[in-house]
Each structure stands twice: as structure tokens, then as C-alpha cells.
Structure 1
Amino acid sequence: MILVTGATGTVGRLVLEALPTGQAVRVLAREPAGLTVPHPRVEVVRGGYGDETALLDALRGVRRALLVTSCVAGDDDALFIRAALAAGVEQVVKLSAGAVSDPLADDLITRWQRASEEALVSSGIAWTLLRPRSFMSNTLSWASSIQAEGLVRALYGRSANACVDPRDIADVAVRALTEDGHAGRAYTLTGPEPLTAFDQTQQLGRILGRPLRLEELTPDQARAALLRRHPEAVVEALLSSALRQRAGAKALVGHTVRELTGREPRSFRDWAGDHAGAFAPGTPGRVPGAP
């Protein structure tokens, strides 16, 4: 039995879709109504990490689990690990972040992810760590301004990130969940090239067949926009992360996706072509989550 958490989110949803149809799968979800269940062998347990009864029910008989947490500085990882130990789970595949391996990254989000990784690694459960760079799907946050104004607003628009298609993260996660040989491994996951917001804007414009313009935000403008969606401590962490990106900390391209899947990682052009409808006029925009 495999347990998938975060199954209504960007990566968990794709993992659930990509798991073999013959595989017995269980899902832990606070809001099961938001699930897309791709095949009949998926069992759903309603609840969250703070619900000990639901968590133990979800972990009963599970051999491997995908752990996705998003409450920054919260104790969801610790709660899950404690329950997984009690249930006899053999291996946990944790969705983390590429910044964890950067010794210069010391913002709140990275410290939380680093501590969460350490809690798993020291738990005695076999572990696999997935450390992706920025999700290509984060550009969906531009959908409304592209639809209405043909405009992308971004901080440090000429700074590069080796962003990755969430489908590639999911493909690696499925291998770690269904194959042997991934325990004790930490995988940094990137796309095939470093891209700036300017590069992405240009590529989206060509795919959509319309001119798009990039407007660079000042740090104060970016802070004000982020404060409308996040607590101040998280906003400061995101701004610190953007500064590291401007310094080149996120531009390195790795080869893990190719090594584990046997194919090249998907390009941003691939991702954008498959999701062009989200940016078309009259299509409601969606702001995805990202760890």
C-alpha cells in the first residue's frame, strides 16, 4: 500500500494520476471533494496531520508514503513521522525544496524545510528527499494580468531559475514510491535550462500568439503584493529567496530527471504549450501552491 498526501495540490495530484492503476493507493485529504481519483484502487481517508485517528487510519498497512507539507514552521512533519513510526511504514518520500542544500540559504522557509528533512532522516524510517527548483506552474499566477493586460509583473525579472515541470517531479516521486534503490537519496530536480521571468514571458507570448510585456516590480511593490496573500514572516523569506536567485543561486541545471526517468526533463515551452489555455482571455486564473 502507498499513501499519498497533498493529493489536491500541484505535485500530489500528479503523483496520484501517475501511479500504476494496479497499485493499491490510499489518500489522506482534508477536503476529499477536491480530489481527482484516476482509478478504482484508491481509498480516501478524510483528515489532516493534526487528526491522530485519521492519520493512523491512513497509515495502517502502508509500506511507502509521499509526504507533502505546506504549513511553514508548523509541526506537520513531526506529527506524520511519529505516526509513520507507530504504523511501521518502511519508507517516506518527502517533497522538500532545492534551497535546503544551499548553505547560504537561511530564510524561514528553508530553515523549516531543512529541519523537516532532518527530522525524517534521523527518525529511523528509510527516506527519499525530493528537492525541486521553482515549479514552472508558478507562472499561472500571471494568468489574470496576461489575460487582461498582456502583462507580467515580476521581481528581478532578469534573474534565472532552473525551474522544473511538476510532472517531472511527480514522475521521480512515483519511481521512488514504486521502485527499490531510492532510500537514503536526496534528489535535486531541475528543468533543462535556467530561465528568467523575461524569458518565460517571451516564450508565453510566442505560444499565445500575442505580444506580452514584462514589468519589473520593486522590492517594496513585491512585498506589498505578497503581503496580500502571506504572513509577513513568509513574505520576508520569499524576498530573501528572490535575492539569492538574483545572485545566481538557483540557475544550476542538474541531470537527475534524465538519470531517473531515462528522458530529458520537460522544457518550459513544453509546459506552457500544454497549459496555454490557462492564459487565454476569458479563462479564470489559478494561483498554485509551491513548496
Structure 2
Amino acid sequence: MIAVTGATGTVGGHVARLLSTDHPTRLLGRSLSRLRALVPGADVVSADFADRRSLERALDGARALFAVTANPLEPAHDANLLAAARTAGVEHVVKLSALAVTDDRADDLITNWQRENEDRIRASGLAWTMLRPRSFMSNTLSWAGSIRAHNTVVTPQPQSRNASIDPRDIAEVAVLSLTGPGHEQQEYALTGPEAISPAEQCEHLSQVLARPLRCDEIPLERAYATWAQHYPEPIAQALLESARRQGAGAKQGVDFTIDKLLGRPATTYRAWATDHAHRFS
């Protein structure tokens, strides 16, 4: 049995669907109806990161765990999940982390939280695999409303580049790591095949949608004000620091681990945009 947390999220959902076709899969979460709708017929179990006992019950009998947590302001959630995995007899944890952990200049809340998570897993005595992606191509779905309404993308630093990745590629690596040999104690840097800017992504979307789109720049300070309306201040500050690193070129490096693991090139943004054109129309 392979357990999956974060199945209602971007990467976890893909992992759950891929695993369930060939492997006994258990989805952990609080919204059981959403989980059942995500993968009909999957084993769905109630669990709460704040309740270690519920996690132990949910992980009982699981051999491997795909671990996704989402709240850097609640580090106890990560400690609870790992402790429950050890108690339940889980042998291998595949952790969704972030490539920023390898950047000595990255010292924000979110990156330090991921570093602490990785250190905790390494010290656990369990087999582990760290997946370290760049930002998700699917983040550009946040543009869908302004594209539908005004044929406009509004973004800070439109010329800055990020080697962003298709979440489906991350999921394929996760499934490979969970089900195949030789991935224990490995750290995988996962990027797309090119460093691409928001302006270039906008141009790809324009071509895929067959209509002109405008890419308008907003100051980082205005972007921060928007983030602060939606997130707690420490997280908004971490997003600002991350954006500044991208503007300084820290996220342009392309890694070819995807090619080696999956035997094919990483998915391009153009291919991702073509597959998701309906979300912008």
C-alpha cells in the first residue's frame, strides 16, 4: 500500500491518479468527498496533520508515503506526519520539497521550513527521496481570470526567468520513486527544459489561444500588497524574497534529471499551455 498526502493539491492529485491505476493506493485528508471524487474507488482515509493518532491510523499498513505538507507556520504538522509514519511501519518517504533549499542565498520562511523538513526526514532512519522542483507551470493559471476578462497578464518582473516545471513531470518522478528500486537516499533537482519568463509564457499562451494578449508589469511592492491580502505576513514576505531572487537570476538553471529518470525531455511550457488552453478560455 502506498499512502498519499496532498492529493487535492496540484502534484498530489496527479500522483494519486497515476498510482491508483497499478498500485494499491490510500489517500489521506480531511475532505473525504473531494478525495473520493478525485480517484473513484481509491482507499480514502480521514486524517488531520494536527492529530498524530489519526495519521498513525491512516498510515497503518502503508509501505511508502508521498509526503506533502503546505503550512510553514505549522511545523508540528510535518513532525506529526513523520512520527506517525515511523510508528505505522512506513519504510520509504518521498518528500515534495523545493529546489530553493540548495541556494545559500535563500533564507526565507518557506525555504527554511523545507530545509528543516528534509533534515527531519534524513534523521528519521527511514528510506527517503527528496523531490526538489522549481515553480510549477500551473502557477500561471492565476492569470486565467484577467486573460478571460481583458486579454491581459499582470505580473511583476515580466522579463525574469524561471526554469518552471510541469507538475505532471514531478508526479511521474514521484511515482517512479515510490514504486521502483534505486531511489532511496536520492535528491532530485526537477526543472523544466528551459528558463522562461512571464512575458514569454504570455506569448506562448497568445499563440495557443489564437488571440493577442498583453503582458503588463506591476511593481513588486504592489504584488506584495496583493499577497499580503491573501496570506499571513510571513508567507507574503517569503514570496517577496523569492521573487527578488528570481529577478536576480537565481532560478534560471536548467537540470536534466527529468530526462535521465523518465527517458524523455521535460515538458515545455508550450505543451503545458496547449493541454490547459481550456482553462484560459
Q: TM-score, normalised by structure 2?
A: 0.97
Aligned to 1:5: 5
Larger helix percent = 2
List runs of 5+ in structure 2 lacking aligned partners. Answer: none
Alignment of 1:111-190 (within 5 A): 111-190=112-191
Q: Pick 1 or 2: higher relative contact order, CA cutoff 8 A, min separation 6.
A: 1
Large movers: runs of 4+ above 4 Å:
none
Alignment of 1:188-227 (within 5 A): 188-227=189-228
Spell out, residue by residue over 1:218-270, the C-alpha distance to the aligned partner (whole angstroms, 9 max, x if none): 12211111112111111111010011111111111101111111111110011
For the 8 Å contact 1:45–1:54, the answer to whether it is kept is no
For the 8 Å contact 1:14–1:170, the answer to whether it is kept is yes
Aligned to 2:80: 79
Spell out, residue by residue over 1:5-47, the C-alpha distance to the aligned partner (whole angstroms, 9 max, x if none): 001110110001111523111110111211244463x211112
CA distance in 2, matches of 1:22, 1:108: 38
SS at match of 2:115: helix
CA distance in 2, matches of 1:151, 1:272: 16
CA distance in 1, matches of 2:4, 2:269: 26
For the 8 Å contact 2:95–2:129, the answer to whether it is kept is yes
SS at match of 1:129: strand
Aligned to 1:17: 17
Aligned to 1:54: 54
CA distance in 1, matches of 2:219, 2:276: 28
Aligned to 1:287: none
Residue type of the alignment partner of 1:7: A
Identity %: 48
Spell out, residue by residue over 1:192-213, the C-alpha distance to the aligned partner (whole angstroms, 9 max, x if none): 1000000000100010011111
CA distance in 2, matches of 1:59, 1:76: 15
Relative to 1, partners in 2 of residues 1:37 and 1:144: Cα closer, same or farther, differing over 3 Å? Answer: closer
Relative to 1, partners in 2 of residues 1:196 and 1:49: Cα closer, same or farther, differing over 3 Å? Answer: same
Aligned to 2:91: 90
SS at match of 1:16: helix
CA distance in 1, matches of 2:5, 2:48: 9
For the 8 Å contact 2:20–2:39, the answer to whether it is kept is no
Spell out, residue by residue over 1:165-197, the C-alpha distance to the aligned partner (whole angstroms, 9 max, x if none): 000000000001001110100111000100000
CA distance in 2, matches of 1:131, 1:208: 31
List runs of 5+ in structure 1 lacking aligned partners. Answer: 281-291
CA distance in 2, matches of 1:39, 1:150: 36
Spell out, residue by residue over 1:113-152, the C-alpha distance to the aligned partner (whole angstroms, 9 max, x if none): 1111111111111110000000000000000001111111
Q: Return 246-255 or 14-23, whichever deviates more.
A: 14-23
For the 8 Å contact 1:21–1:39, the answer to whether it is kept is no
SS at match of 1:228: helix
RMSD over aligned CA atoms reads 1.1
Spell out, residue by residue over 1:63-87, the C-alpha distance to the aligned partner (whole angstroms, 9 max, x if none): 1100000011312111111111111
Q: TM-score, normalised by structure 1?
A: 0.94
Aligned to 2:250: 249
SS at match of 1:264: coil
